[in-house]
Amino acid sequence: MARERTARKREEHEVEFSRIVAFSDGVFSIAITLLVLELKLPQHLQSGEIWHALGEQREQFLAYAISFAVIARFWLVHHSFFSEVKAFDSRLIGLNMLYLGFLVLIPFSSQVLGEYGGHLPAVVVYSANLTAVVLVGQWMAWDARHAGLAKADAQTERESLVRSAFISGVFLLSIVVALFDASIAPYMWLALFFEGRGHVIERISRRSSSP
Amino acid sequence: MARERTARKREEHEVEFSRIVAFSDGVFSIAITLLVLELKLPQHLQSGEIWHALGEQREQFLAYAISFAVIARFWLVHHSFFSEVKAFDSRLIGLNMLYLGFLVLIPFSSQVLGEYGGHLPAVVVYSANLTAVVLVGQWMAWDARHAGLAKADAQTERESLVRSAFISGVFLLSIVVALFDASIAPYMWLALFFEGRGHVIERISRRSSSP
Amino acid sequence: MARERTARKREEHEVEFSRIVAFSDGVFSIAITLLVLELKLPQHLQSGEIWHALGEQREQFLAYAISFAVIARFWLVHHSFFSEVKAFDSRLIGLNMLYLGFLVLIPFSSQVLGEYGGHLPAVVVYSANLTAVVLVGQWMAWDARHAGLAKADAQTERESLVRSAFISGVFLLSIVVALFDASIAPYMWLALFFEGRGHVIERISRRSSSP
Amino acid sequence: MARERTARKREEHEVEFSRIVAFSDGVFSIAITLLVLELKLPQHLQSGEIWHALGEQREQFLAYAISFAVIARFWLVHHSFFSEVKAFDSRLIGLNMLYLGFLVLIPFSSQVLGEYGGHLPAVVVYSANLTAVVLVGQWMAWDARHAGLAKADAQTERESLVRSAFISGVFLLSIVVALFDASIAPYMWLALFFEGRGHVIERISRRSSSP
C-alpha cells in the first residue's frame, strides 16, 4: 500500500510521535479543566440567597459530572488506541486533529446542557457533539488499522466497532426520547457511563464473532 | 490476586504510564492557573477608586493564596504517591480521574469562597470540596497499595492515613466553627498549611505505631 | 560562523531542548482549546428561542472551525520544522517566543472575526494576525537554516518559502477583496486550507527550481 | 550539610524531577496564553465603530506585549536555572511553587495595567508583582546554589544577582516615576526588555568582580 511507505515508524521518530500524543493530552486536559468555568455563582447575593443560588446550579453540576466522565473516558479510549499505534502519517495526524476539534467543543455543549438541560435543543447539541467525537474516533482507529499503522487483534477491533455503534445508538435514541421528554435524556447517558456497559458490549461482540 | 495479573507493569508500559502522569500534571497546572481568573477589577473606574477596588478584592486574594497553596500541596502528594506506583490498571486510572474531577472543582469553590468567605455556605462548599479530594486521594492510595500496584513502607502508609484523617478532621471542624463565625474558618485552613503540621502528624503516626 | 559556536547541540541538551518544544506545545494546545470560549449561549432564553440563538452563533462556529484548522496546521508546520532542528541558541528561542506571541493572539482575532465577520476591520485583523504568524515562522525557519541550526534540503526549503509567500499573498488578497465585500474573505481562507493547496505549491516550487 | 543528605539526586529520580519541570512549564504556558483573554471587543458594534473600539484596546495590546515578553523572559531564566539543578528537595519545590504563585498573578496585573495603565495603582500593582517574581526567583536560585543543589560558576551567580537587583531597581524606580507621571512607567519596562540590558549587566558584574 502506498500509504505504508510514506508512514513514519514510531520507534524511529519517537520525539515527533510523542509530540502528537503530548499535544493531544494537552488539549484533553485543558478541555476537561475548562468545564469548571461553566460553574459560576452570581455576585452580591445576600447571605440567605447563597444556598438557593448553589441549588440553582444543580443542572450545571450534573452537566459538569457527565462531561467530566465523558471526556475522561474519551481520553482513556484515545490513550489505549494510541498505545497500539506503530507508525503515523499526515492522515492520522489530520484525523486526530478533526477528533480534537470536536472534543474541544464539549465544554460549549456542556454549557448549553447545563443551562437548558430540560429542552430538546440542548439534548440534540450535546448528543450530536458526542456522537461526532465517537464517530471520528472510530474512523481514525479504523483507518489507522487498515493502513497498517496500528495493530489490533480481531476481537479488539470488533469490540471497538460495537462500542462506537452502541454509544452512537444511545445518543441518537436519547434525541428521540427528548422529543417527548428532554429531561430524561441526560440520565440515559449517565447510565451509559456507569452501568455495566462493558458487559453488554462484550456479549454482543462475542456473539457477532461466533459462527 | 486477580487484579495483579491484569495490571500493567510501569517499566513495560512507560509511555502509557507517563501519559497518565502527564495528563494529571496538565490538569493540576491548568486548575492552579485558572485561579487567577477569579481576580478581576471592574472597568471604567475613576483614578481615585482603583485603590479602593483593589482593597475590595482582598478576600479574593486570600482565596487565591489559600487555593494555590492547597493545589500545590495536593500536587506534591500526588507526585510523591505516583513515584511509588509500580504498576497500574484501569481501576487506578478511574480513581485518578475521580480525584481529578474533584480537584478541578477547586477554582469554583475558591471563587465562592472569595465572594462569600464570611458566610457559612462558602465554608461548607470549600471544605466539602477539599475533603472530597483528600478522601478520594486516600482511597486511591490505599487501593493501589493493597492491590500491590504501589509500594510503601508501613510508616509512610500510616503517615498518609493519619494526614488524610487530620486534614479531613480540620475541614469538618471548620464547618462546625463556621456555624458560629464563618469568617474564622479560612484562617484555620491557612494555619493548617503553614504551621508545623508535619510535626504533629509525625508525632501522631509515630505514637500510633509504637506498641 | 560565530553563532554556531555558541549554539547548543540538541543531543547534548535533550532536556532543555525538549522543554522548548514542550512549552511551545503547551501554548499551542491551550490557544487551540481557548477557541471554544468564544462560543456562548445567552442565559435565560425561552425554550423556543434556543434554536434561534444557536443559529445566531453560526458565524462564531465558522470562525471556530477556521481558527482550529489554522492553529492545527501551524502546529504541524512547527512540528515538522522542529524535527529538523539540530541545535538551538537564544536567538532561535527568542524568535520562537515572538512566533508564539502572535499565535496566542489568534483566539482574540477569531473572536473579532466571529463577531464582525462581515466587516472589513475583522478581516484585516484576522489576516494581519495570521500573516504575522506565517512571516515570523518563515523568518525563524530561514534564520535557523542559515545559521546551521536546522538542516533542510533545498527542495524542502524552497517549498517552505513558496508556501509562506502563497499564504501571505492569499491573506493580503483577502484584505483587498474585503474592501469590496468583507463576507467573502473567510471562504477564501477555508478554500486555502481544504482544497488542493499542496498541489499548487508543489507545482510552483518545482517550476521555480527547474532551470 | 544536613540538607544535602535528604536531597534527591536528579539522575536517580529523573521522572520526579521532570514532573516538577513539566508542571512549571505547564503553568508558564497557561499563564502566558491566558494573557489573550484580557483582549476583548464589545459586542453589537456598528460597522463604523469597530476600528475605534480596536484603537481603544491599544493599552491592552501594549500590556499584552509587555507581559508576554516578561513571562517569556522569566521562562528563559527559569529554564536556564533548572538546567543547572543537579538535585532537589522539598524546599526547592516549595520555593518553586511560591515563585509560580506570583507568576500566575501576572495575567491579573496585566489586566489592571491594560485597563488603568496611566494611573499610579496599576503601575504599583504591576511593578510589585514582577519584583516579587524576580526576588523569589533569585531567592530560589541563591538557596539552591548554597545548598549544593545547583551548580553555577561565580560569574554566572554574580550576573544573576546583579540582574535581579537591576530589574527590581528599575521597577522600584518606575513606581517613583509614576508618582509624577504614571503613563511613562510602562515604557521604562519595555526599554528594560528590548534595549542593551545584557551589556549593562555584564559590564556591572564584571566590574564588581574585578579587584
Q: Please state, for a pLDDT cut of 90, what percent of chain A lies above it.
A: 33
DSSP bridge partners of D85: D150
pLDDT of residue D160: 81
Q: With a CB-CB cutoff of 8 Å, which residues 24-43 of chain B face chain A? A: 26-27, 30-31, 34, 37
Reported pTM = 0.88
The average confidence (pLDDT) of chain A is: 83
In this complex, the chains that touch B, judged by 3 or more CB pairs closer than 8 A, are A, D
For residues D98-111, give the mean pLDDT. Answer: 96
Any CB–CB contact under 8 A between D53 and chain B? Answer: no
Smallest CA–CA distance, residue C116 to chain D, in Å, is 8
Is C26's CB within 8 Å of D21's CB?
no
Report chain D residues whose CB lies below 8 A from the CB of C101.
65, 68-69, 72
Nearest to C105, CA basis, from B3, D40, D147, B97: D40
Any CB–CB contact under 8 A between D15 and chain B? Answer: yes
Three-class SS state of D87: strand
Is B105's CB within 8 Å of A39's CB?
yes
Q: Which residue of B has its CA nearest to A31?
A: B27
Is B54's CB within 8 Å of D125's CB?
yes
Residue B181 CB: number of other CB atoms within 10 A? 11
For A32-73, the pLDDT digits (tens) are 999 999 898 888 888 888 899 999 888 899 899 999 999 998
pLDDT of residue C207: 59
Report chain C residues whose CB lies below 8 A from the CB of A27.
29, 32-33
Residues of chain C scoring pLDDT < 70: 1-6, 11-12, 190-211
Cα–Cα distance, D185 to D178 (Å, whole number): 6
pLDDT of residue A2: 47
Any CB–CB contact under 8 A between B47 and chain D? Answer: yes
For D85-102, the pLDDT digits (tens) are 888 888 899 899 999 999
C contact test, residue of A95, A97, A123, A179 with most C CBs within 10 A: A97
Is C31's CB within 8 Å of D33's CB?
yes
For B87-99, the pLDDT digits (tens) are 888 889 989 999 9
For C138-195, the pLDDT digits (tens) are 999 989 988 888 887 788 788 888 888 888 888 888 888 888 888 888 777 766 665 4
Cα–Cα distance, C144 to C92 (Å, whole number): 7
Contacts of D193 (CB under 8 A, 6+ apart): D66, D69, D70, D73
Q: Which residue of C has its CA nearest to A103?
A: C33
For B8-25, the pLDDT digits (tens) are 777 667 777 888 888 999
Q: CB-CB: which of C22, C90, C119 is closest to D47?
A: C119
Residue whose cell numbers read 536517580: D12
Report chain A residues whose CB lies below 8 A from the CB of C37.
34, 37
Nearest to A32, CA basis, from A88, A128, A106: A106
pLDDT for residue B5 is more than 70:
no
Q: Residue D107: pLDDT band by 50, 70, 90 thresholds?
A: very high
For B102-129, the pLDDT digits (tens) are 999 999 999 999 998 888 899 999 999 9
For B153-201, the pLDDT digits (tens) are 788 788 888 888 888 888 888 888 888 888 888 777 766 665 444 555 5
Cα–Cα distance, A74 to C58 (Å, whole number): 26
Cell triple for A137? 474516533
pLDDT of residue A204: 58
DSSP bridge partners of C141: none
Is A121's CB within 8 Å of C51's CB?
yes
Cα–Cα distance, B176 to A124 (Å, whole number): 44
Max Cα distance, chain A (Å): 69
Q: With a CB-CB cutoff of 8 Å, which residues 122-151 of chain A face chain B? A: none
Any CB–CB contact under 8 A between D104 and chain C? Answer: no
- C-alpha dihedral sign at C155, C156, C157, C163: positive
